[in-house]
Structure 1
Amino acid sequence: MTGSNEWWRGAVTYQIYPRSFQDSNGDGIGDLKGITRRLDHVAELGVDAVWLSPIFTSPMADMGYDVSNYTDIDPIFGTLADFDAMVARAHELGLKVIIDQVLSHSSNQHPFFKESRSSRDNPKADWYVWAAPKPDGSPPNNWLAIFGGVAWQWEPRRRQYYLHNFLKEQPDFNFHNPEVQEWLLGTMRFWLERGVDGFRLDTANFYFHDKKLRDNPPFDNGTGVPPVNPAAMQIHNFQKNQPENIPFIEKLRALLDEYDDRAAVGEIGEQHFAIQLMSEYTTAKRLNMAYSFEMLSPRFSPTHFRGQIEEFFRLAPGGWPCWAFSNHDVIRHVTRWAQHGHDQDSLAKLAAALLLSLEGSICVYQGEELGQTETELKFEELTDPQGITFWPDDKGRDGCRTPMVWSAAEPYAGFSDAEHTWLPVRAPQRARAVNTQAGDPNSVLSFYKKMLALRRGREDLKTGKTRFLNVADPMLAFVRGERLLCLFNLSREEQTTEVPATDEVLVSSAARVDAGTVKLGPNGFLLAELAG
């Protein structure tokens, strides 16, 4: 039976990066028992769900996004029993559990790939994307990999290339083979039966490739200078975003609908028309939600934020987005937008007020509730293949993945009692530990709790429509529902604007209201009821 409880609509999900949340066994790496221990912190924030980045068995070439067993837990994180205990505790606390599902590719250590690469006539021969070389021995087309180099790797046993959109250790499944689709859906059913409430679908627009293997067209960034990653020099029309993707997404949704109250949010990895794809993937019986990197970029302006929201709902009035400002793939937003901030705390609170006022569902990345900043790392400390390949212009993703800081005075800020942790804890991050903010009503942590309580208690903030007001940059103003005014100063200077008459001020910072005129200080904001 399909459930009618759309708990995900307008919900706030807290993303946990398991390697960095809490180490319970002293090996310097976070694990499931550690997550279970710290779930009280998550529940006390006032969020609705947790999303766990990959925890499946993996050689960790890409930190779990290269899966070698889709129905077991990697030993560094624990066991299936540990997972079950974590889910049970989350549910006791009223938290839904979403897990990361990497369907587009597996690890090259997966038994199916080992079989597939062994010959052209084995039972799994067509489960991955294989292609003959050109007459000169070069790859079959011009496709480039996201992590550098060509997207094809030679396999001498088959005398063919295989496709890898990311690392060569991450061969792509051949979704044109119906057996592959059914098997992958079966792995999802395994976790649904264990009680997970939904999935975050990694690279949800990468499942199918162009059968004709046509070359991608070039993309001119207008600068005349190649980017640090040459993959950005192509429009990846044929490598992903294929029309066959939609029927598979509908099949996936049908699986979810066999269970009560389950949901899926898809990651749309696209630099050219991401909002359009988000809208396509969330209409009708497709994904419940989708997100892209549009809100995870360096852009920080009223025009940008307004444009993303208006464009999404114009294209998909019946669809539903999921917005985030930080995650495990991008520079933390307090650092990314620092030039627009009066100070770190003011910027962190402004970002929280804005994010938690947006129409759609919301994702908060671990440490974001502390106003956490990006960690500066040395090259020899990196683990991320992206950073290792493109250093120093692109330092990779390790800087946003360093351990969660719980207690400023403890070794590794309470994350671990190991001699060394998988990534270091630096002083600027330690200074923002949970225990330094928990009792301070003016802290970023306290403000997140206040904003989350406001959103949880008001239906207009969760599902109310958005009506933008025309105010001058750098101010952003909109009304949620009928009467909730949301006003933000996205600059480091005081701004003044006229607004409709208000009654009750619900949340504010550096704001003064006087007879329809609002003065907002640097990074100031105001949420108030319009006069009835």
Structure 2
Amino acid sequence: MNVQNNATLNRSLQVSSYWWRGGVIYQIYPRSFQDSNGDGIGDLNGITERLGYIASLGVDAIWISPFFKSPMKDFGYDVSDYRAVDPMFGTMEDFQTLLGQAHEQGLKVMIDLVLSHTSDQHPWFSESRASQENPKADWYVWADAKSDGTAPNNWLSIFGGSAWQWDSRRQQYYLHNFLSSQPDLNFHCSDVQDALLDVARFWLDLGVDGFRLDTINFYFHDKQLRDNPALPMDQRNSSIAPQVNPYNHQDHLHSKSQPENIAFLERLRALTDEYPDRACLGEIGDAQRGLEIMGDYTTGDKRMHMCYAFEFLEKRALTAAYTKHVFDQLEEKAGDAWPCWAFSNHDVQRHASRWNLDETALRQHAVLMMCLRGSACLYQGEELGLPEADVPFENLQDPYGIEFWPEFKGRDGCRTPMVWMAQDEQSGFSTSSPWLPVSTAQAERAVDQSERDPNSMLHHYRRAIALRHAHSALRSGTQTEMTQNGSVLSFFREDDAEQIFCAFNLGSSAIEASLPQGEWRSIGGELGSVYGIGTVKLDAAQFCLLVRETR
């Protein structure tokens, strides 16, 4: 028997290097990273071509958004075959080449598993919708209409409208929390759970280092199909859906985040632990209870390794007061949780534009990310300081943006092609017209230009990541005494070897910051850290990092 599949080794394999704990993960949106065959769409071979660049950043791992076979109604998040690579992205051999070369470069590879729903073109759904008696009849969430023919309850889809779609074959409604072409799987069915765990095992056997788990709190629904209550008006400021979406009018108490999810996550973790050095990263989409759910899903060593919520993906800027509030809530609701923080990803406006950050503030935020307790996700192009691209309506691809235009422009602005060469017609992404237009504003910050400038944002990110790796306290130490004094956020990071004091002025004007007593030395000067004794004057977006040995 393959040693990786020997369940008797579970416990010993849990004692690993824990590369993920405090690790820096680089997210790749494959459609937009690098096109290797000139069809205008990024692919797996394109990622392989750029592995040297990724490794040069100093990150620990890559997370690749879905590349499975799909009709691409939601650009890969609607899977029609979990065990096949979509021809758009290449072949399984291409993926195995990518995996092998990434490992040679010292990079872990995490793939994006979308388990809460499939495409309506998945064979499972084709069989399930055929009748109410077939072997997969209960693999999806089906329900009869109310007596007046309307949907079973008031649940809403994130992408707009009812979360229920009538199906004439079964004469029933099926649940879809996203597009109507993305029917939700029924996790109350044990066969569904087993089938999905088999999918996870397939990829673990191939050698992937872990999973980013899409919409991890959407797996289970309330079996009684109870209506969601209304959300009070003062709580309808959500990062999960745009303000023009009535999804924000409900407290999604019954349509997601159900207690039964814990048992399945423990099954998934037990499977993952059969393999050495693997990790699971869950995405929690819940505007009201995100940090609490993070605690539930990551507590102990039998659930997920880490999760991320949406607190730092919101429109609300990272003021000192708000950042402290988030960590206070994390300590109160999920003190043992291991968080993973992101400022940008493929679903939200890039944080350079979302928070209207100038160059100095962008640099400061990069350092802040590397100093906060938890793991970190960087989104492709973030290391270049890319702003959000302006995509005109006639070029939009995202169904989300098309539905809510013009108040919400969708997700295409953060998904435009990566810019590699400033003077190239398509910025080095492709030799033909790409699936989304290249942003001329982004092209000014292309990789080739940034590489030549030692003071560029790209080199700053490399130095910030190197700082995290150089100090074990920043990577995996405790975080204590977080305080907010005006616009200054300060805290300590500490482990058995060292203690680090961090102070960040997250305001727009200069302020005096108090420094700890004792023998300290300054670090991070090449990143912009300033030094003082007793107090230090921090200009807008300045910071101070001090270290002392604790042995």
Q: Secondary structure at the match of 1:412?
A: coil
Q: Secondary structure at the match of 1:118?
A: coil
Q: Secondary structure at the match of 2:126?
A: helix
Matches within 5 A, 1:207-246: 207-222=219-234, 227-246=243-262
2:304 aligned residue: 287
Q: Is 1:431 the equivalent of 2:444?
A: yes
1:296 aligned residue: 313
1:377 aligned residue: 391
Q: Residues 496-526 of structure 1: CA distance to partner in whole angstroms, max 9, x if unpaired? A: 2121246322114665534322112221122
Alpha-carbon distance in structure 2 between the residues aligned to 1:522 and 1:438 = 27
Matches within 5 A, 1:302-317: 302-317=320-335
1:531 CA drift (Å): 8.6
Q: What is the Cα-based RMSD across aligned positions, in Å?
A: 1.6
Contact 2:522/2:531 (<8 A) preserved: no
1:421 aligned residue: 434
Alpha-carbon distance in structure 2 between the residues aligned to 1:325 and 1:313 = 20
Alpha-carbon distance in structure 2 between the residues aligned to 1:172 and 1:367 = 32
Greater CA drift, 506-515 or 477-486: 506-515
1:334 aligned residue: 352
**Would the alpha carbon gap of residues 512 and 115 (structure 1) be closer, same or farther in structure 2, given more than 3 Å must change?**
closer
Contact 1:227/1:233 (<8 A) preserved: no
Residue number among 359, 362, 381 corresponding to 1:367 in the alignment: 381
Residue number among 515, 522, 525 corresponding to 2:533 in the alignment: 515
**Would the alpha carbon gap of residues 11 and 223 (structure 1) be closer, same or farther in structure 2, given more than 3 Å must change?**
closer
Q: Secondary structure at the match of 1:165?
A: coil
Q: Secondary structure at the match of 2:256?
A: coil
1:37 aligned residue: 49
Contact 1:511/1:521 (<8 A) preserved: no
Q: Which sections of structure 1, spanning at least 5 residues, go unmatched?
A: none
2:200 aligned residue: 188
TM-score norm. by structure 1 comes to 0.96
2:216 aligned residue: 204
1:347 aligned residue: 361
Q: Residues 290-341 of structure 1: CA distance to partner in whole angstroms, max 9, x if unpaired? A: 0011111122211221222232234333321111111101111111111xx3
Counterpart code for 2:216:
A
Q: Secondary structure at the match of 1:61?
A: coil
Contact 1:265/1:289 (<8 A) preserved: yes
Contact 2:212/2:281 (<8 A) preserved: yes
Alpha-carbon distance in structure 1 between the residues aligned to 2:118 and 2:328 = 36
Q: Is 1:71 the equivalent of 2:83?
A: yes
Residue number among 404, 424, 439 corresponding to 1:390 in the alignment: 404
Q: Secondary structure at the match of 2:75?
A: coil
How many aligned positions are there?
A: 527
2:140 aligned residue: 128
Q: Percent identity?
A: 53
Counterpart code for 1:455:
R
Q: Secondary structure at the match of 1:513?
A: coil
Alpha-carbon distance in structure 1 between the residues aligned to 2:461 and 2:530 = 22
Alpha-carbon distance in structure 2 between the residues aligned to 1:138 and 1:69 = 32
Alpha-carbon distance in structure 2 between the residues aligned to 1:224 and 1:41 = 41
**Would the alpha carbon gap of residues 439 and 527 (structure 1) be closer, same or farther in structure 2, given more than 3 Å must change?**
farther
1:324 aligned residue: 342
1:347 CA drift (Å): 2.0
Contact 1:513/1:519 (<8 A) preserved: no
Residue number among 11, 18, 35 corresponding to 2:30 in the alignment: 18
Residue number among 169, 172, 176 corresponding to 1:160 in the alignment: 172
1:528 CA drift (Å): 1.9
Counterpart code for 2:307:
A
2:6 aligned residue: none
Residue number among 408, 416, 419 corresponding to 2:422 in the alignment: 408
Alpha-carbon distance in structure 1 between the residues aligned to 2:371 and 2:235 = 36
1:484 CA drift (Å): 0.7
Matches within 5 A, 1:269-280: 269-280=285-296
Q: Residues 64-106 of structure 1: CA distance to partner in whole angstroms, max 9, x if unpaired? A: 0000000010001000000000000000000000000000000
1:441 CA drift (Å): 2.1
TM-score norm. by structure 2 comes to 0.93
Contact 1:104/1:172 (<8 A) preserved: yes
Alpha-carbon distance in structure 1 between the residues aligned to 2:151 and 2:189 = 22
Alpha-carbon distance in structure 1 between the residues aligned to 2:469 and 2:160 = 43
Residue number among 503, 521, 524 corresponding to 1:504 in the alignment: 521
Q: Is 1:59 the equivalent of 2:66?
A: no
Q: Is 1:250 the equivalent of 2:262?
A: no
**Would the alpha carbon gap of residues 515 and 318 (structure 1) be closer, same or farther in structure 2, given more than 3 Å must change?**
closer
1:228 CA drift (Å): 0.5
